[in-house]
Chain A
Amino acid sequence: MTRLSPARIALYVISALVLVYLILPVLIIAPISFSSARFLTFPPPSFSLRWYQQYFSNAAWMQATRVTLTVALLTVVIATPLGVAAAYAISQSKLRIMRVIHMALLLPLVVPIIITAVGIFFVYAKVGLVATLPGLVLANVMLGLPYVIISVLAGLQSFDPAQEMVARSLGMNRLRSFFAVTLPQIKSSVVAGGIFAFISAMDETIVALFISGGQYQPLTKRMFTALRDEIDPTIAAISTLMTVASFMLVLLASARQKKSG
């Protein structure tokens, strides 16, 4: 470490301020959600659970929560196997077209989400998928696929394909050797990819704004509408719960990834 020059001190101060700027909004929500006040006052006048009560006793919020959880779970169940199969194929195949396919599968990260959302809305309007559960799940599978593929590809990179060759030379077929030899070793990155797909589906808002409706509106769409109209601390309670859920899932995913090395 160098001695503390003025430049060094400035570096510490600026970095500290930037980190406060990054963290403050994440920390501000929980105290608001436990406040008894109708309007945002800080510090909160007294502790109260009324906004949590409001959330859990409201049929519309509960229905939206069910939709979000159903969509996120179905997204994981569908996107994970599709992503694992695709990542495996990309890593094993020497076909030149695979590079193009690989890029195509990462398109959801490149195309601005608002464009994707409007495009899907037009297509869904033609085939009658607007305001349906399958429509919502399909869109989220598409958005979640890149996370699974990136995570599993990273896992496969540290896996020696020769092991699978050995299993096959000992008489296993390709499918069995994949499940018996390869999958157990990349399990952590598969789980991590699935968790990222879950969080992506849980947080997805923009596509849902265009294609969801009626009884199949996820939590984020209702939150967005509520935020546009008036600020109600119920949203702080929901936000706190969502943030806690995300953080726990991320910790789970990173613990998994660390284990796989």
Chain B
Amino acid sequence: MLALVSPALLVILLLIVLPVGWLAWQSIYHDGFTLENYRRVFTEDIYWRSFALTFEISLAVTLIALLLGYPVAYLANSVPKGWSILILSLVVLPFWTSVLVRAYAWLALLQRTGVINQLLRYLDVTSEPLALVHNTFGTVVATVHILLPFMVLPLYATMQKIPNDLMQAGASLGASPSLTFVRVFLPLSLPGVLAGCTMVFVLCLGFYITPELLGGGRTVMVSMLVSRNVELYNQFGAASAVAVVLLASVLLIFAVVSRFISLDRILGQK
């Protein structure tokens, strides 16, 4: 059995374990051991500001995705089967469009001469085009769009397992629908909330294409810091240290969350 799994394992070892190990080594070794790269990451302004910004954006994206995704998952769970299939298909549809294509679509929609601005001007809502893209706003709009399915699917999966009898029991004991929701449904759906939020937050931490194309160069997320250090400045050691800190954050989050819900539950919803 080990022989059967070894070719796949070899590919994984050579193409992800070795490269990541290489990064880790390169972050602490340059003509001798050094912690200089980490000192820079934790003390220099550009680095820790970028980390702070990335965590802020990821948090905002996660909260917005939860606020938008919860009602959709709730609706899909409470309507007849045909309708819920339709809703879920609409949720998954953009999922199968390339991230690059969707970045392009958001540029087309949000730029100064884009669809939204033309519409607003046509309706006389605005006289000047609004700056909707090439800033943090555009990045967040497009990032939430890409990550929303990762929120809705685990939420829906969890809600499906909540027995309907419980709501009826709540109602028969005299609770109003909103009280039953807050006291019974909401707490039971929390594992789904945790799974969805973890996935969205972690994916957002490493986002690259969307902030690069829609952030207008001002929204420098950690991933862009890594790529600029490699491509523009040839600072391989610094890039590696940033990457290691990012990876450590991701693994830490998974480790903490897996104490509450199984990792399969987070990853299995793909």
> Which residue numbers of A lie inside 8 Å of B, CB to CB?
2, 5, 7, 11-12, 14-15, 18-19, 21-26, 28-29, 32, 39-42, 82-83, 85-86, 88-90, 92-93, 95, 97-98, 101, 103-116, 118-123, 138-139, 141-142, 145, 147, 149-150, 199, 202-203, 205-206, 209-210, 220, 223-224, 227-228, 231, 235-236, 239, 242-243, 246-247, 250
Contact = CB atoms under 8 A, between A and B. Distances in A.
A110 B254 contact: yes
B1 A92 contact: yes
Interface centre among B4, B18, B94, B145 (most CB of A within 10 A): B4
B51 interface: no
B127 interface: no
B236 interface: yes
Contacts of B72: 14-15, 18-19
B108 A231 contact: yes
A199 B91 contact: no
30 contacts: A11-B71, A18-B71, A19-B87, A22-B93, A22-B94, A26-B94, A28-B115, A83-B8, A86-B4, A88-B4, A89-B4, A93-B5, A104-B13, A108-B16, A109-B270, A110-B251, A113-B208, A115-B243, A118-B23, A118-B239, A119-B20, A122-B19, A122-B26, A122-B236, A138-B15, A149-B8, A210-B230, A239-B104, A246-B97, A250-B96
A101 B3 CA distance: 12
Interface in B223-264: 223, 226-227, 230, 236, 239-240, 243, 246-247, 250-251, 254, 263
B90 A203 contact: no
Instruction: Give the 6 A-B residue pairs with the shortest CB-CB distance, closest first.
Output: A112-B206, A119-B19, A25-B105, A86-B8, A93-B1, A142-B15
B12 A142 contact: yes
Interface centre among B1, B145, B205 (most CB of A within 10 A): B1
Contacts of A250: 96
Contacts of B93: 22-23, 26, 247
Contacts of A12: 75
Contacts of A209: 227
Contacts of A26: 93-94, 97, 102, 105
Contacts of A147: 270
Contacts, number: 248
A58 B223 CA distance: 32
A242 to B, nearest CB: 6
B1 A95 contact: yes
Contact of A86 (B5, B100, B109, B250): B5
Nearest to B229: A118
A90 B9 CA distance: 12
Interface centre among B26, B227, B240 (most CB of A within 10 A): B227
Nearest to B251: A110
Contacts of B250: 110-112
B71 A118 contact: no
A82 B11 contact: yes
Contacts of A110: 250-251, 254, 267
Contact of A120 (B15, B87, B99): B15
B11 A205 contact: no
Contacts of A210: 227, 230
B87 A15 contact: yes
Contact of A101 (B5, B11, B22): B5
A144 to B, nearest CB: 10
A202 B100 CA distance: 11
Interface string B13-43: 1111111101100100000000000000000
A40 B94 contact: no
Contacts of A105: 5, 8-9, 12
